[in-house]
Structure 1
Amino acid sequence: TSLVWRQPAQALLRARTSHGCVLSAQCFASTYTTSTTSGDDTTPALTPLQRARLSLQAAAGALADPSRADLVAALGETTGDFALRAMARRLNNTPHGRGILETQPLFDDAFYDACARAPPSTLGAAYHTFMTKRGFHPSERPAVRYVSNDDARGAAGDLKYVMLRYRQVHDIWHVLFGLNTTVFGELVLKAIEARQTGLPMCYMSAFVAPAARLPRAQRERFYAVYLPWAWRAGNTCVDLMAVDYNEAVEKPLEDVRREWRISVAPAQVAITPSSPSSGS
């Protein structure tokens, strides 16, 4: 679905917002031409006004068309500075978290291959099955464009990496919580992500988007049953940004869930062989 970022993070392509403004690659390139370089990536140097404008346009466009993964990504990046810094501080406050910030492990081909070799009923095997059935691959996650590391080194860590890690763990959270990739399942997971990460984009997806995107019966059930469950689940489990997924690949999935205090979603949105492969 649209609620994460499977498409490349290109400059904002065509999307009409509720104000009638068309976002296009040409318009964006001509508006935000100054950039700063951090590592191998180039980050547009946005003024506060430009950042606010981009956030509003991305929010309106993403709400109107949730399939616009580029708009959802831009919204998460332009509104997430405070939450990213808080996550980086949490990581930096533990030895294992500091190791994550220093080594910056990725869900790359090596990780995916290890999952493919993992024994049945393990976290790695379940994750690999989830991804292959839907035609997903971890490498599809785009680069982070609108988060700058200029003031993020040292105690705050690497904010660009924290955002990328958030995107990369999304699919394995689907597996851990037993949530499918329908729009409904994605919105439930966004509520868990809101509690775990504090990202404003997740809050908007969990609390506002259901009212606009779900049919009445689903919307009522979402707010009455699944949103409270998701909030409790995100609050009860460990900090899932700070766990070692590589070390857990060959552990039985149920053991990992117990160790990380994860509760599985109510059956109506649990992963089943017939779950729609709508992306995530």
Structure 2
Amino acid sequence: MVAALGEATGGIFLERIRDQMLQDPEGRRILRERPVITSETMQLDHLRTLPDGTFGREYVRFLDDQQVSPDTREPVHFVDSEELAYVMRRYRETHDFYHTLTDLPVTVDGEIALKWFEMVQTGLPMTMLSSFFGPLRLSSEERSRLFEVYVPWALENGSNSKSLMNVRWEEWMEKPVEEVRRELGVKPAPQV
């Protein structure tokens, strides 16, 4: 349902993301080549052999720890434009890279914090709805932590970092995760 809501409300926001991608050489290349992120294309077994601290090793460690796979993303159904459907697909497929980059856990407050980050990065209505209504599910202690720690971090990092839709993640796997963060202008989320 969340995926369908994201597609149904994405419209002009997907066009805006596409236009931002077209203004960036890597974004244009991504739109032209339309790479997909699957277990096969990411060669997860190879990533498991990379040294600790590389982006690829930390990404696959995240997948393994959370028992998730890049193959489980819902296909795009409700976006008519083939190009904009790809933009939505790419957004979905890169979500777990954002977890690796930001060091946010897969908890309710960690996911909401990541939606705040993504809201600043993409402006997608679904990220706004998750950001504003998701906290209703949190305890008062979790809400305090979200708004006192995670939201300020997400607003600063989301607005000061490179547009992550213009990152060809597949080519960053062997770089140290700290170098990736530096190059993209993202500080890891505070660990509280």
TM bracket, shorter-chain basis: over 0.9
Question: What letter matches 1:183 in structure 2?
Answer: V
**Other-structure match for 2:181:** 257
CA distance in structure 2 between the aligned counterparts of 1:205 and 1:226, rounded to whole angstroms: 14
- Following superposition, the deviation at residue 223 of structure 1 comes to 1.7
Does the CA contact (< 8 Å) of 1:112 and 1:128 recur in 2?
Answer: no
Q: Which of 164, 167, 173 is matched with 2:98 structurally? A: 173
Give identity over the alignment, percent: 40
Question: What letter matches 2:73 in structure 1?
Answer: R
Q: Which of 90, 98, 110 is matched with 2:41 structurally? A: 110
In structure 2, list runs of 5 or more residues that go unmatched: none
- Following superposition, the deviation at residue 95 of structure 1 comes to 2.3
Does the CA contact (< 8 Å) of 2:102 and 2:187 recur in 1?
Answer: yes
Does the CA contact (< 8 Å) of 2:66 and 2:106 recur in 1?
Answer: no
TM-score normalised by the chain length of structure 2: 0.94
Does the CA contact (< 8 Å) of 1:92 and 1:98 recur in 2?
Answer: yes
Question: What letter matches 1:78 in structure 2?
Answer: A
1:126 lines up with 2:61 in the alignment: no
1:101 lines up with 2:31 in the alignment: yes
- Following superposition, the deviation at residue 216 of structure 1 comes to 1.2
1:206 lines up with 2:131 in the alignment: yes
- Following superposition, the deviation at residue 93 of structure 1 comes to 1.6
The structure carrying a bigger strand percent of its residues is 1
CA distance in structure 2 between the aligned counterparts of 1:95 and 1:185, rounded to whole angstroms: 31
Task: Indicate the structure (1 or 2) with the bigger Cα radius of gyration.
Answer: 1
**Other-structure match for 2:4:** 74
Does the CA contact (< 8 Å) of 1:97 and 1:242 recur in 2?
Answer: yes
1:227 lines up with 2:118 in the alignment: no
CA distance in structure 2 between the aligned counterparts of 1:117 and 1:97, rounded to whole angstroms: 29
- Following superposition, the deviation at residue 224 of structure 1 comes to 2.5
Question: What letter matches 2:13 in structure 1?
Answer: A
1:164 lines up with 2:89 in the alignment: yes
CA distance in structure 2 between the aligned counterparts of 1:115 and 1:86, rounded to whole angstroms: 33
Question: What letter matches 2:4 in structure 1?
Answer: A
CA distance in structure 1 between the aligned counterparts of 2:41 and 2:91, rounded to whole angstroms: 19
Q: Which of 124, 140, 146 is matched with 2:72 structurally? A: 140
Question: What letter matches 1:94 in structure 2?
Answer: D
In structure 1, list runs of 5 or more residues that go unmatched: 1-70, 153-157, 269-280
CA RMSD of aligned residues (A): 1.2
CA distance in structure 1 between the aligned counterparts of 2:144 and 2:26, rounded to whole angstroms: 41
1:246 lines up with 2:176 in the alignment: no
- Following superposition, the deviation at residue 207 of structure 1 comes to 2.0
CA distance in structure 1 between the aligned counterparts of 2:91 and 2:19, rounded to whole angstroms: 15
Relative contact order, CA 8 A, sep 6+: which one is greater?
2
**Other-structure match for 1:276:** none
The structure carrying a bigger helix percent of its residues is 2
